[in-house]
Structure 1
């Protein structure tokens, strides 16, 4: 399994579409992180880029994010990536918390940016 997190200086970036890069953790069957890599973030709005399909092609099935608009959530979901919003802090700690079952989706969309990402 692979988990992606929008990242800025090793912290969850609160704005998915403008993050510095994505941290991707590979996880084994015992829910242990076995490797980490970074993927460059595309220019512009995340939901209008092909990042969802790049991540999906890498085997990413979960996105742990801060905030993002409904357009980005839909694009990621359509690529087979489950989205969990409302995350913050160190990316490895967030991924570990999710693996331990202690994170839940905030259900909050970034409404201020819906106009940029609506389809």
Structure 2
């Protein structure tokens, strides 16, 4: 199985669509057998789910992702685990151990993005704007 983690400098990125890179980890028999860090190839609706599916990814781990993006991953048969933070390697180890607990997406849609939500800041600490 391959797991993709939205990555920013070795940490799980809070912004799935804006992460600078993805870490793709191949897991066999509960062990990491391969790890590849690739630049984010850019995105538009449906591109990244197809791109990662072609790479064999079955799970995506991120801090935050919109509902539409999660639905597009689901349509490709890729499980989305949101609300994750910390080091990529620790998140992957928790996933392998079966202890990774997803939750609410860290970053929710904001004002001006067509969601009808009037906000001017992200929902996660330390960020003024998404």
Give the TM-score of the pair, scaled to structure 2: 0.79
Partner of 1:93: 90
Query: 2: distance between equivalents of 1:114 and 1:78?
Result: 27
1:19 equivalent to 2:16? Answer no
More helix by share: 1
Shift of 1:113: 4.4
Shift of 1:47: 5.4
What is the aligned-residue RMSD (CA, Å)? 2.1
Tell me the SS of whatever aligns to 1:106: coil
Shift of 1:65: 0.8
Unmatched 5+ stretches in structure 2:
116-130
Which of the numbers 98, 102, 115 marks the counterpart of 1:105? 102
Quickly say closer, same or farther: Cα 1:3–1:77, change in 2 above 3 A: same
Aligned residues: 115
Partner of 1:40: 39
Once the two structures are superposed, residues 33-92 of structure 1 have per-residue CA deviations (whole angstroms, 9 ceiling, x without a partner) of: 01100222133xx45251111111111000111011101101111111100111111111
Query: 2: distance between equivalents of 1:68 and 1:108?
Result: 6
- State the structure with bigger RCO (CA 8 A, min sep 6), 1 or 2: 1
Give the TM-score of the pair, scaled to structure 1: 0.86
Unmatched 5+ stretches in structure 1:
none
Contact 1:8/1:21 (<8 A) preserved: yes
Once the two structures are superposed, residues 72-115 of structure 1 have per-residue CA deviations (whole angstroms, 9 ceiling, x without a partner) of: 10111111110011111111110011110111220447432497
